[in-house]
Amino acid sequence: MALRYDEIVRGSLAKQVADLIRSAILGGRLKVDERLPTEEELARRFGISRPTVREALKVLAAQNLIRSRRGPTGGTFVTRPELDAAARTITDATTLLVGMGRFEIDEIVAARAQTEALCCRLAARNRTDRDLEAMEKEVEIQQDGTLSDEGFCASDVRFHRAVVQATGNAPLQFIMHAMIESFIPITNMLIFRHHERRRTINAHQQIHTAIADGQEDGAAALMQHHVEDMRSVLDQALARRRPEQPRGETT
């Protein structure tokens, strides 16, 4: 058991215990499927109460780092975090930060333009027929004149998600999860009433064609232009959301 039981100091004991076990897992000192000592044993070794240990284990379980199993062969075991679950955790945190105004619109646009351009380069190189079909399907959906604003925005997210999937790069797909699932819906919420759908559809069609033709530079340039073109629409939308300035007041 590669845990250091003498590092507990005053403060949030449960958090400290959770952090120590988490560090041991991430550092490889605790292996996947390795069984942890019982609550009673952990409490004795750390010199704390069982409720405190239980609280620490709940934190780790919420982070998908451990799992519990009942029965004669049961106990608490180290688990391998699933990529989707970990990505959702990052996305939730990112969405919260965006909602609290932690990121400026200019930062979001710049981040999207650069990272999605990179995705287009890799997609043009690695895309499969299935990836191209996923993009084409969303373009077709977006051309439906009866599609609601919410439906159009959802399809927009799926198109960009398909581009990321086409990269064939798992670490990049993981990193881009928060970008696609958090930043695009937030900006769409601001602009969907002021944005011309045809502009988005044309951009998506051109990006799809460039990726299908293996044009790495062309696909990247089209994506960057598509994202940056949204900047002016965002400015208009934000200006309309600002309260009108009282007459006679100057800035």
Instruction: Give the whole-angstrom CA distance, residue 233 versus residue 196.
Output: 9
5 in any annotated domain: no
How far apart are the C-alpha atoms of 164 and 200, rounded to whole Å? Answer: 17
- Tokens representing residue 124 in the block: 């043009």
Q: Is there a single domain that holds both residue 105 and residue 61?
A: no
Cβ atoms 36, 68 nearer than 8 A = no
Instruction: Tell whether 171 and 216 lie within a shared domain.
Output: yes
Among 72, 186, 200, 208, which residue's Cα sits nearest to residue 137?
Answer: 208
The per-residue pLDDT for 166 is 98
Residues 231 and 125 in one domain: yes
More confident residue, 133 or 181: 133
pLDDT at 1: 55
Threshold 0.85, pTM exceeds:
no
Q: Is residue 199 part of a domain?
A: yes
Final residue of a domain: which of 58, 78, 98? 78
Segments forming the whole domain that contains residue 114: 83-241
d(C-alpha 69, C-alpha 77), whole Å: 8
pLDDT digits (tens, 9 = 90+) for 47-98: 999 999 999 999 999 888 899 988 888 899 998 766 676 777 777 787 788 7
Tally the domains of the chain: 2
CATH code of the domain in which 191 resides: 1.20.120.530
Beta bridge partners of 77: 35, 67
Residue 185 domain-assigned (yes or no): yes
Asked whether residue 6 is domain-assigned, the answer is no
Question: Is residue 87 located within the same domain as residue 193?
Answer: yes
Alpha-carbon distance 16 to 10, whole Å?
Answer: 9
Specify whether 37 is located in the same domain as 146.
Answer: no
Mean pLDDT of 30-43: 93
**What average pLDDT does the segment 98-114 reach?**
84
Which CATH number fits the domain that encloses residue 74? 1.10.10.10
**CA-based diameter of the chain, in Å?**
78
